[in-house]
Chain A
Amino acid sequence: SQQGEEDPQALSIQEGENATMNCSYKTSINNLQWYRQNSGRGLVHLILIRSNEREKHSGRLRVTLDTSKKSSSLLITASRAADTASYFCATASFSGGYNKLIFGAGTRLAVHP
């Protein structure tokens, strides 16, 4: 069952513009993670935000988390053609002795030169 749901499903922008992707989830979490997937490759971890954090930055990435609304957003500033990829949110909980991640269906981002 998918917990995270990304919005929009697809996003097309010009280089230099900002890209915002949203993620909503249903149950309580320990943390929320964002991953990027380039075409034909595996997922690469971008950023992790804990349930007691509200905002986190990493380079051109800014992630917010609102646990009261059960939602998160990923902002990529000053986008580049190399940012073209699919972006997935994943909600994390630790149970049964392992770090369980539930992924959303992803947002496909296209950045045009």
Chain B
Amino acid sequence: NAGVTQTPKFQVLKTGQSMTLQCAQDMNHNSMYWYRQDPGMGLRLIYYSASEGTTDKGEVPNGYNVSRLNKREFSLRLESAAPSQTSVYFCASSDQGPSNQPQHFGDGTRLSIL
């Protein structure tokens, strides 16, 4: 049972470089999410996709773009990385429909920007 798989697990970038974080889920969930986690803070929502073909901004979308490639995959792109984007990034998925559904998380991508 893979659940939610994120790649890569670790990445170091230089300021101004770009990269894409990949996420795939095998639970046939409709909704997918990208969060960032910073020390001493809870997770903050960057972008979400309620269903295939739709994406919307969350709480902290600036500096990021997303693509819902298909029902399984949801990628997060940093076009021009900045040190403030150093964080741990988590992808999650959930069933759409009733709100009483938990989210399932990947193990995260630890991103450092120098």
- The residue in chain A whose Cβ has the minimal distance to the Cβ of B6 is A42
Chain B residues closer than 8 Å to A35, beta-carbon distance: 105
Which listed residue (B44, B104, B106) contacts A45, Cβ 8 A?
A: B104
CB of A12 within 8 Å of the partner chain: no
Contact with B along A38-60 (1 / 0, CB 8 A): 00111111001010000000000
Which listed residue (A41, A50, A98, A105) contacts B50, Cβ 8 A?
A: A98
Contact status A44-B99, CB under 8 Å: no
Report how far A44 CA is from B92 CA in the complex, Å. 11
Contact status A42-B107, CB under 8 Å: yes
Contact status A42-B99, CB under 8 Å: no
Contact status B31-A42, CB under 8 Å: no
Contact status A96-B50, CB under 8 Å: yes
Which listed residue (A30, A31, A42, A104) contacts B42, Cβ 8 A?
A: A104
Main secondary structure of the interface of B (DSSP, over half): loop
Contact status B102-A4, CB under 8 Å: no
Minimum CB–CB distance from B96 to chain A (whole Å) comes to 7
Contact status B41-A2, CB under 8 Å: yes
Inter-chain pairs besides A41-B108, A105-B40, 13 sampled, C-beta below 8 Å: A1-B59, A33-B102, A42-B106, A43-B103, A88-B42, A92-B99, A94-B98, A94-B99, A97-B96, A98-B31, A98-B56, A103-B35, A104-B42
Residue contacts A-B, CB under 8 angstroms, 10 given: A2-B42, A33-B102, A44-B105, A45-B103, A92-B99, A94-B98, A96-B56, A98-B50, A99-B94, A101-B45
| Chain A contacts to B: CB under 8 angstroms | 1-2, 4, 30-31, 33, 35, 40-45, 48, 50, 88, 90, 92-94, 96-106
